């Protein structure tokens, strides 16, 4: 098999033996080049919220492409889809009077948010506030900052230092007392921001305990630390609210978005910046320039696709649908705890992690699911990924769980 394509996050010798080429998709179903039909249990990489193959989205992209494919946003320039989408996001996000920085995806958004957090404190003449905290088990993409703040140690390993950007540190995953102790050890005058996923995703799907996120926000406010909520996975309905911040009652200083913003139809990300953080850069002739930007930030066609995606979510009441399907998914996959190979099942909204015992060969279970018509993948801590598109039916949820149960039983019998 050809080595022309180097896959991301892949053990290439294995990939070259088992490459799975997806040829087409519709709704929650994928079709491979060799004709196999697979239920897309991970929604791609957490992104296919409205499902695959939407003609409305293709038509929206075509209309924009034949009008203005894009024009950059640097300096005084703008395009209408970017302006309209920024206003729409301001009205949706749980961030006060948000200004929107557009990016090309989640990793871009994390880099922009972390840079802005540091730049903000420099502008306020607080030069020692440079350290960015993140949680054990957290995942925030793989750009410079994302790699440096990774709470999954293997994503930081192999580059010659513990962190590409040295001013980073980890805090415990769900431990407010331990977080307070670490903040006090480092010194709040040295900390710029704390980045947290409301629901840990790649780290194994860990929903927050009761009161945890509110407590984390309170600590940030007590110590003068900017809270960056990473809603790249949870945003746009995944937890049964438009954003996890709504579900758990937090109002971050900055919030990162991507994935569900376009449901994967085109690459686009964003950072919602609160008025508090934006204000020093917005007012007065002597306001500084935030020297950050990427060529395709606010790409006109990507923004038009995002607008159509949001229209579909609203027209079809898909956020409410997630709330309706949440107990169906919890019951179907929760039943897998009956398997002697399963350590725990964690779920919230339309996302779950089926954690296998440490010595279970998860790849064998994944292959067993694939042979039976369900595609899943491995997350951290030997956890199987469950995060279907919002258009999945209750019967399809139960089918996917039954397939996983059969694959587990086959593995146990072996």
Residue with tokens 């996302």: 351
Check if the beta carbon of residue 257 is closer than 8 Å to that of residue 309: no
Indicate if the pLDDT at residue 297 is higher than 90: yes
Asked whether the predicted pLDDT for residue 88 surpasses 80, the reply is yes
Give the Cβ contact number of residue 325 at 10 Å.
Answer: 22
DSSP per-residue string spanning 320-360: HHHHHHHHHHHHHHHGGGGSTTEEEEEEETTEEEEEEPTTS
Residue 324 has what pLDDT? 98
Q: Say what percent of the chain tops pLDDT 90.
A: 99
Instruction: Report domain extents, the chain.
Output: 12-53+317-413, 59-315
CATH of domain 12-53+317-413: 3.90.1150.10
**The pLDDT of residue 414 is above 90:** no
CA distance 143 to 256: 14
pLDDT of residue 288: 97
CA distance 221 to 170: 18
Residue 286's pLDDT is 93
Q: How many C-beta atoms surround the C-beta of residue 215 within 10 A?
A: 17
Q: What is the pLDDT of residue 1?
A: 77
Chain Cα centroid distance, residue 368 = 27
Exposed (0-12), middle (13-18) or buried (19+): which is 179, by Cβ within 10 Å? buried
- Region 49-73: what's the mean pLDDT? 98
Q: What is the pLDDT of residue 124?
A: 97
Give, in words, the CATH class of 59-315.
alpha beta
Mean pLDDT value of segment 234-245: 98
What is the pLDDT at residue 225? 98
pLDDT at 353 over 80: yes
CA distance 175 to 193: 17
Q: What pLDDT does 140 receive?
A: 98
Secondary structure, 3-state, 117-174: HHHHHHHCCCCCCCEEEEECCCCCCCCHHHHHCCCCHHHCCCCCCCCCCCCEEEECCC
Model pLDDT, residue 16:
95
Q: pLDDT, tens digit, for every residue of 157-180?
A: 999 999 999 999 999 999 999 999
Are 143 and 256 a contacting pair, CB within 8 Å? no
Q: Give the 3-state secondary structure of residue 221.
A: helix
The mean per-residue pLDDT over the stretch 224-237 comes to: 98
Q: Mean pLDDT across the stretch 218-240?
A: 98
pLDDT score for 20: 97
For the segment 400-408, the average pLDDT, to the nearest whole number, is 98
Q: Is the pLDDT of residue 371 over 90?
A: yes
Give the mean pLDDT of 317-337.
98
**pLDDT at residue number 248:** 98
Query: What DSSP letter does each residue of 91-118 carry, written as one string?
Result: HHSSSTT-EEEEESSHHHHHHHHHHHHH
């Amino acid at each position: 098999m050809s080595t022309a394509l180097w896959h991301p996050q892949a053990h290439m010798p294995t990939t070259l033996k088992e490459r799975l080429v997806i040829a087409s998709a519709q709704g929650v179903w994928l079709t491979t080049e060799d004709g196999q039909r697979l239920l897309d249990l991970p929604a791609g990489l957490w992104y296919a919220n409205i499902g695959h193959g939407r003609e409305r989205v293709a038509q929206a992209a075509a209309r924009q492409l034949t009008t203005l494919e894009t024009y950059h946003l640097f300096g005084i320039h703008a395009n209408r889809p970017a302006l309209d989408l920024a206003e729409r996001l301001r009205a949706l996000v749980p961030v006060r009077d948000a200004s929107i920085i557009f990016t090309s995806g989640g990793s871009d958004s994390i880099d922009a948010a972390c840079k802005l957090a540091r730049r903000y404190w420099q502008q306020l003449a607080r030069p020692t506030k440079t350290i960015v905290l993140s949680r054990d088990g957290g995942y925030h993409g793989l750009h410079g900052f994302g790699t440096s703040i990774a709470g999954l140690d293997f994503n930081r390993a192999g580059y010659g230092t513990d962190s590409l950007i040295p001013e980073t540190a980890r805090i415990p995953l769900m431990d407010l007392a331990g977080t307070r102790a670490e903040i006090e050890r480092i010194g709040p005058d040295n900390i710029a921001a704390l980045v947290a996923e409301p629901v840990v995703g790649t780290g194994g799907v860990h929903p927050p305990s009761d009161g945890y996120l509110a407590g984390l926000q309170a600590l940030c406010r007590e110590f003068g630390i900017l809270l960056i909520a990473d809603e790249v996975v949870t945003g746009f309905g995944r937890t049964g609210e438009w954003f996890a911040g709504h579900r758990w009652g937090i109002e971050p200083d900055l919030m990162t978005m991507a994935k569900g913003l376009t449901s994967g139809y085109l690459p686009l990300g964003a950072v919602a910046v609160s008025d508090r953080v934006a204000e020093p850069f917005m007012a007065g002739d002597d306001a500084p320039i935030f020297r950050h930007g990427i060529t395709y930030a606010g790409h006109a066609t990507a923004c038009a696709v995002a607008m159509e995606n949001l229209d579909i979510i609203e027209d079809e009441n898909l956020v409410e649908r997630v709330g309706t399907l949440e107990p169906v998914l919890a019951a179907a996959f929760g039943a897998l705890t009956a398997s002697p190979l399963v350590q725990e099942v964690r779920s919230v909204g339309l996302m779950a992690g089926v954690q296998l015992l440490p010595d279970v060969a998860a790849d064998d279970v994944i292959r067993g699911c694939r042979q039976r018509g369900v595609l899943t993948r491995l997350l951290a801590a030997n956890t199987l990924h469950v995060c279907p598109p919002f258009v999945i039916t209750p019967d399809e949820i139960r089918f996917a769980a039954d397939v996983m149960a059969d694959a587990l039983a086959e593995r146990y019998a072996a």
